[in-house]
Amino acid sequence: MPPGFDHSYASLGSDFCTPQPPDPVVAPELMLWNQMLADELGWKGSPSSHPEQLQALAGNQPLPSSKPVATVYAGHQFGHYNPQLGDGRATLLGEWLTPSGDRFDVQLKGAGPTAYSRGGDGRSPIGPVIREYVVSEAMHALGVPSSRALAAVSTGEPVVRDRIERGAILTRVASSHLRVGTVQYFAMTRGGDEVGTLVDYAVSRHFSHVTEQDVAPAKPAAVILLDGVCTHFARLVSHWQVLGFVHGVLNTDNALLCGQTIDYGPCAFMDHFDPQACFSSIDRQGRYAWPNQPSTMHWNLAVLAECLLPLIDNDEKRAQQTAQEVVDQFPIRFHAHHQKWLAAKLGLDRITEVDGALIQDFHDIMAAERLDMTLAFRWLTEIAGDTLEHSPLPELFRAPPLLIDWSRKWRDRRASNRGDANAITQTMRATNPTVIPRNHLVQRAINLAENSDLDWIEELVARGQSPFEWRSGDEEWARSPLEEERVTRTFCGT
Q: Annotated active-site positions, please?
A: 253
Gap between the Cα atoms of 457 and 31, Å rounded: 10
117 binding partner (options ligand AMP, Mg ion, none; Cβ < 5 to 8 Å by kind): ligand AMP
From 8, 65, 117, 197, residue interacting with ligand AMP (rule: CB under 6 A): 117
125 binding partner (options Mg ion, ligand AMP, none; Cβ < 5 to 8 Å by kind): none
86 binding partner (options ligand AMP, Mg ion, none; Cβ < 5 to 8 Å by kind): ligand AMP
Residue 494 binds ligand AMP, judged by CB under 6 A: yes
Residue 265 binds ligand AMP, judged by CB under 6 A: yes
- Alpha helix (H) ranges present in 21-83? 35-41, 51-57
- Alpha helix (H) ranges present in 293-437? 293-312, 316-327, 329-346, 355-368, 373-385, 393-396, 401-415, 421-431
61 binding partner (options Mg ion, ligand AMP, none; Cβ < 5 to 8 Å by kind): none
Pairing verdict, β 103-109 and 164-174: antiparallel
132 binding partner (options ligand AMP, Mg ion, none; Cβ < 5 to 8 Å by kind): none
Gap between the Cα atoms of 194 and 185, Å rounded: 10
Residue 88 binds ligand AMP, judged by CB under 6 A: yes
Size of the site for ligand AMP (CB under 6 A): 18
Gap between the Cα atoms of 210 and 247, Å rounded: 29
Residue 121 binds ligand AMP, judged by CB under 6 A: yes
Please, which residue, 170 or 203, has the CB nearer to ligand AMP?
170
Please, which residue, 263 or 274, has the CB nearer to Mg ion?
263
Neighbours of 95 (CB within 10 A): 19
Residues 67-86 that bind ligand AMP (CB under 6 A): 85-86
The b/e string for 294-315 (b: 16+ C-beta within 10 A; e otherwise) is: bebbbbbbbbbbebbbebbbee
Please, which residue, 181 or 347, has the CB nearer to Mg ion?
181
Q: Smallest distance, Å, CB 494 to ligand AMP? A: 4
Residue 263 binds ligand AMP, judged by CB under 6 A: yes
Q: Smallest distance, Å, CB 449 to ligand AMP? A: 18
Closest-approach residue to Mg ion (CB): 263
Query: What element of type H or E holds 236?
Result: helix 221-243
Long-range residue pairs from 348-352, CB within 8 A, at least 24 positions apart, any chain: 348/413, 348/414, 348/417, 348/424, 349/417, 349/418, 349/419, 349/424
Q: What residue ranges bind ligand AMP (CB under 6 A)?
A: 85-89, 116-117, 120-123, 249, 253-254, 263, 265, 492, 494
